[in-house]
Amino acid sequence: MKLKVGFYFPGGKELEHEVEGDDSTQMISNIQKHRYYNLVKGDCHFVVDTEKAAYFL
């Protein structure tokens, strides 16, 4: 089972990350155990702090 997690920011910024799990409880746990997400979109690298809902270039 896969779930796509989206992060939305002011100015139209949007990042997505895919999480896998056997059931919805495991997927939610997998999302919550990561405070930071390192994501690449185009030629930019983003570090997303899920507690602050901020992004850094």
What CA–CA distance (Å, rounded) separates 48 from 22?
25
**How many domains, the chain?**
1
- Which pLDDT belongs to residue 53? 56
Domain residue limits at 18: 2-56
Q: How do residues 5-57 score in pLDDT, each as one tens digit?
A: 777 777 777 777 777 778 878 777 777 777 777 777 788 777 777 776 544 44
- Which pLDDT belongs to residue 52? 67
- Which pLDDT belongs to residue 17? 74
What CA–CA distance (Å, rounded) separates 28 from 30?
5
- Which pLDDT belongs to residue 19? 75
